[in-house]
Structure 1
Amino acid sequence: MNPLRRLASQTAIYGVSSILGRLLNYLLVPVLTYIFAPSEFGIVAEFYAYMGFLAVLLLFGLETGYFRFRALGDWPAETVLQTVLRFLLLANLVFVLTVFVLREPIADLLRHPDQTHLIWWCAAILAFDAIGAVAFARLRAEERAVRFATIKLIEIAINLGLTLFFVYVCRRAFEADPTSWLGSLWDPRIGIGYVFLANLGASLVKLMLLAPQFRSSGGRFEPALFRRLVRYSLPMVIIGFAGVTNEMLDRAALKYLLPYDADTNMAQLGIYSAAYKLAMLMTLFIQAFRYAAEPFFFGYAKQQDARAIYALVLNWFVISCVFVFLFVTLFIDVFQYFIGRDYREGLVVVPILLLANLLLGIYINLSIWYKLTDRTLMGAAVALIGSAITVILLLWWVPRYGYLGAAWAHLVCYGSMALISYLLGRRFYPVPYDLRRVLGYPAYGVILYLASLVLASWLAWPSVLVGILCLALFLLAVALVEGHRFWSRRVRH
C-alpha cells in the first residue's frame, strides 16, 4: 500500500476519535458558557492549563522513548512496555499521595482556597491519563487504530454524559426540589467543579478498558534499558514542557498579567478560553496526525525513499491545515453560536490562533530530524527558545493588548520554532521539502480569508455564500496542482 495513503488512513481513524470526540465536547461549550459566567469558566481553563504542564512531567517523555526502543529491536517489545509501565505506576502513585497530603497549601498558592477538592481530582485524572498513555502507545505501535479510537470515543462519551448529567439534569432538579434524589447530587459549592468530576469518572473507565494492553508475556523491568530510556526520553520532557508552555501558559498566566481587577481578569480568561475552543479544530487535526505520524516516521525511517515521503507528508499536512483554517474562519458567523453571547467578543483571536496552530503542525513535521538522529537535546533547545519567546511576549504584550497579545505570542513563537527546526534539519537530516507549496498554500489561504472579509463587508454578500466560494477556490487550486499526485499509485518524487 502506498505509504502516504497508509498514513492518511491511520490519521483518519485517529481523527475520528479526536475530531468526533472534540465535536461531542463542543456540545459542552454552549452548555457551560450559557450556564456559567466567564469568571467561572475561567477556572476550568486555568486548571486544565496547570494539568497540561503536569501531564508532560508525569509521562517523563517515555511515550516517545517507547516507540524508539521498540523500533530498535534491542529488547523485546514486552520488556520495553513493562519497563516503561512499572516506572510510571510508581512515579504517579507517589505524585497522587503527595498532592493529597499537600492539597490545602496548593489551593492557597493558586488563590483558590475553597477548591481543595479540585486539586485532588485533578491529580487523580493526571495519574490515570499518564498510565493510560502507555497502553495507547502500544495500540499505536501495533497500528490498532480502531481499538484506540473506540476507547477514546467511549471515554469522551462518558465525560460528556456525566458533565451534562451533573450541570444540567442535577442542577435543574436541585433548583426545582433540592430534597429530590437528583437534586441531592448537585452541590452549588462545587458548581463548575463537576466538569472535573466527570473527567475523573471517564478517565477511570478508560483505564479499565485499557487493562488488556498492560498485559504481556515474559515482559519485565530491565534496568539497563531503563537507563537508556531515561537518557533518550528526559530531553523529551523538556520539549514537552516547553510545548505546553507555548500552548497553555497564556491561560495559566492571564489572571496574573491582565491589568484589571481579579474578577475582570478571570472573566477575560474565560472569554479568551472559549474563543480558543473554536481554534481547536486545527489542534484536533494535528493531534490525530501526531498519533499516526510518530510511529509511522520511526517505522519508515530505514526505507530508501523515507525522506521523499516525509516531504510529501508535510505537503499534504499543510493543505489539510489550510482547509481547516478556511473552514473555521470563513464560517465564523456559524461557529460563534457554539459559545455564549457574553464570550463572543473574543472571536477576533480565532484566525490568529488557527494560523499559530498551523505553524505548530509544520514544526512537528520538521522536528523529525532530532528524533531520528537521537539529537533530542538539540530538539529541547529549540523548544526552550520557543518557551523563552512565549514568556517574553506574554509579559510584554498581555498587559498592553490583553488576550489579543497572547494570541499573537502563539503565532510568533510557533513561527520561530518552525524556522529554527527547518534550518537545523537541513544540516542534520536533510529532507527535500517543497517550500513553494509549504509556504504558498498558507499564503493563499490568508489571501482568500482577507478577500472574504472584503466581499462580505464592502459588497454586502452573504457570509455563507462568500465562505462557500472561497473554500471552493482553495479546493480547486489543490485539485489542479496536487490531484495527480494523490491519485497516482506510486509516490512520485
Structure 2
Amino acid sequence: MIQTIVYSIGFIFQKIINYTFLKIFTQSLKKEEFSLYTDMYALSFLVIAFLSFGLENTYFRFLSKKTYDKEVIFSTGVFVQLFLTSFFLIISMNSIKYLVSIAGYKNHPEYFFMFFLIIFFDTICILPMAWLRTNEMALKYTIINMINILIQSIFIIYLFSFSKKSNHLNCFSIVELVNSFTDKTGYIFFSNVVSSLTNFFLVIPILLKEVSIKKFNQSLAKKMLNYGIPIMLGTIAFSLNENLDKILIKRCLSDEINGAYSACYKIASFMSLYIRAFRLGIEPFFFKKSEDPYAKNYYEEITYMFIILGLMFYVLICGNISLFIEFLIDKKYHFAIPIIPIIMMGNLFLGIYINLSIFYKTIDKPIIGTYISLIGVLVTVLFNVILIIIPNSSFMVSAWGTFTSYGSMVLVLFLWGKKKLNQFFNCKKKIWKIIIHLLMAFLLVRVTNKNKIEISLFLQFLYLIIIFLSERKFLNKIIL
C-alpha cells in the first residue's frame, strides 16, 4: 500500500502538470493543431506497443518463476529490447519520406523524426524502470518520472513564452533553433525528445551496473520472446482500442472535431491515472503471490477494492464536470464534453479487465489475453466503421465504441475463464454486488449532469453514504 501511495504521488504530480498544459495547449493551439498533437501521440503509441514486445510483463513473470538468476533475466531482456529498438530506429529513419506521405504529414517530416527519437529512448527505458519496481525502489522511480516531467515542462514553458519574442532577440536561443525546423505544435514534441533523452541518462547507471553481455542467455531470450509475443499483440490491440477513434475522426470527420474530442478524452483519462497508479503498486505483488496458498483471498479483495474505489472516483469526477471543465480546456472544445462519462466508465472496465487478466498471466497463457483484446478491437472497429460508411456520423459513436469494447472484454474474460477465475476470485459472491454498484454509479452520473449543482452535490453525498454503509466491513478491513 505504501508503494502504491508513492507511485500515486508521482503520477498525480505528472497529471497535474499535464492538465495545466492541457489548458495552455487548448488556448494557444487551434483545434486542428491540437488534433495534430494528439494524432502523433496516437500513432506513436501503436509503435511503442509493438516495440515493447510485452517484455515488461515477461520480465515480471520470469522473475516469479525463479528458474533463472534475476541478473540473467534482466540482462537478456535489455539486450532483446535494445536490438528491437535499434533495428526500428535504423529502418524508420531510412523510410521517413515514405512514412510521412502515408500518414499525411508531408509538410511536417520533422514530427516523425522527433517521434522516432522519443520512441527509441522511451522503449529502452521500459525494463530499467521495471527493474526499479521489482526492487521496490518506488521513491527513485517516482523521482525519475518527476524530473522528466519537470524538464519537459520547463522547455514547453520556455518555447511557448518566448516564441513571439524570438524575432527580437539579438543572441542565439533555443527558440530560434527550434523555430528553424518546426512550428508551435512541434515545440511539444521537441520538449518530449529532451525529456526522453533525460530519462535515458537517468537509467544509464542501472544499465551499466546490472547489464552484462556475459549474462545474456540465448535460450532464455527465445522463451521471453515466445511469452511476450501474445502480450505484445494484446498491447497493440489495446493501443488500437485507445487510439483508433482519434485517428479515424481526424481523417473521416475533421481536425476541428478531433481536436475537441481528443481534449475531452484527455479529461476522461483521469480514470487511466487511477488504473495506472493502482497497477504500478499492485502488479508485481500479484506475481509474487501467485504461488501463495492464500492467493485467492489477496486477488479477490484487491480487485473488489479496485472496483469500489474506482466507482467512487468516477462519480466524484464525472458528477462535477461542470465545476472544473473551464479550468482544464478552452471553451471552444466544450461541445465534446458528453463523451467524458462514457469514456471514463469504459476505462474503468479496462481496469477491471487488467485485474482479472492476472489469471492467464500466472498460468502462462497470455494468448488468452490476445484473443480477448482482438475481440475488443473488433468491437472498436465495428463502431468506428460507422464514421466511414454513414454520412454525418457523430463522434459520440466512437465514445460508445470505447465503452462497449472494454465492457465486452470484461464479459468475454469472465465467461471464457469462469472456472479458472474461481481459483483467484470468488466470482459468485461478488458479481451481483459489483453489477449493482456499476449501474448505480453510471445512472447517478447521468442524473447529476442533468440537474443543478446543488442537487448534484446532494446526490453524490448520498451515494457516498450508501457506499460507506453497505461496504462498512470491507472498507474497515482496508483501513486496518
Q: Give the structure-2-normalised TM-score.
A: 0.93
Q: Deviations over 1:91-150 (max 9, x none)?
A: 211211221111122111111112111111101111111111101111111122111111
Structure 2 residue matching 1:104: 3-state secondary structure: helix
Residue matched to 2:426: 432
Cα distance between partner residues in 2 of 1:302 and 1:486: 26
Structure 1 residue matching 2:293: 3-state secondary structure: coil
Residue matched to 2:210: 216
Could you tell me how far 1:227 is from its partner in structure 2? 1.3
Residue matched to 1:409: 401
Number of positions where the alignment pairs a residue of Structure 1 with one of Structure 2 = 469
Residue matched to 2:85: 92
Residue matched to 1:284: 273
Query: Structure 2: which amino acid aligns with 1:12?
Result: I
Q: How does 1:227-306 map to 2 (within 5 A)?
A: 227-258=222-253, 265-306=254-295
**CA spacing shift, 1:490–1:45, aligned 2, 3 Å:** closer
Residue matched to 2:16: 23
Contact 2:349–2:406 under 8 Å retained in 1: yes
Query: Structure 2: which amino acid aligns with 1:234?
Result: I
Q: Deviations over 1:454-475 (max 9, x none)?
A: 541xxxxxx1x34432332232
Match of 1:445 among 438, 441, 446: 441
Could you tell me how far 1:17 is from its partner in structure 2? 1.5
Residue matched to 2:186: 193
Query: Structure 1: which amino acid aligns with 2:286?
Result: F
Unaligned runs of 5+ in 1: 1-5, 259-264, 457-462
Cα distance between partner residues in 1 of 2:286 and 2:111: 39
Q: Give the structure-1-normalised TM-score.
A: 0.91
Query: Structure 2: which amino acid aligns with 1:406?
Result: S
Query: Structure 2: which amino acid aligns with 1:31?
Result: I
**CA spacing shift, 1:224–1:451, aligned 2, 3 Å:** same
Could you tell me how far 1:231 is from its partner in structure 2? 1.3
Cα distance between partner residues in 1 of 2:169 and 2:397: 44
Cα distance between partner residues in 2 of 1:397 and 1:489: 45
Asked whether 1:226 is paired with 2:221, we answer yes
Structure 1 residue matching 2:81: 3-state secondary structure: helix
Could you tell me how far 1:279 is from its partner in structure 2? 0.4
Could you tell me how far 1:490 is from its partner in structure 2? 11
Cα distance between partner residues in 1 of 2:387 and 2:350: 20
Cα distance between partner residues in 2 of 1:453 and 1:282: 18
Q: Deviations over 1:238-285 (max 9, x none)?
A: 110111111111112222232xxxxxx111111100011110110111
Residue matched to 2:359: 369
Could you tell me how far 1:181 is from its partner in structure 2? 4.5
Q: How does 1:64-79 map to 2 (within 5 A)?
A: 64-79=57-72
Moved more, 187-196 or 43-52: 187-196
Could you tell me how far 1:184 is from its partner in structure 2? 2.7
**CA spacing shift, 1:71–1:254, aligned 2, 3 Å:** same
Contact 2:449–2:456 under 8 Å retained in 1: no
**CA spacing shift, 1:217–1:164, aligned 2, 3 Å:** closer
Residue matched to 1:171: 163
Contact 1:174–1:180 under 8 Å retained in 2: no
**CA spacing shift, 1:54–1:80, aligned 2, 3 Å:** same
Q: Deviations over 1:6-63 (max 9, x none)?
A: 3xx3322212222220111111111111011000010011110011111111111111
Q: How does 1:72-221 map to 2 (within 5 A)?
A: 72-167=65-160, 169-174=161-166, 177=168, 179=170, 181-182=172-173, 184-185=176-177, 187=179, 189-214=182-207, 215-216=209-210, 220-221=215-216
RMSD of Structure 2 on Structure 1 (CA): 1.9
Query: Structure 2: which amino acid aligns with 1:170?
Result: F
Unaligned runs of 5+ in 2: none
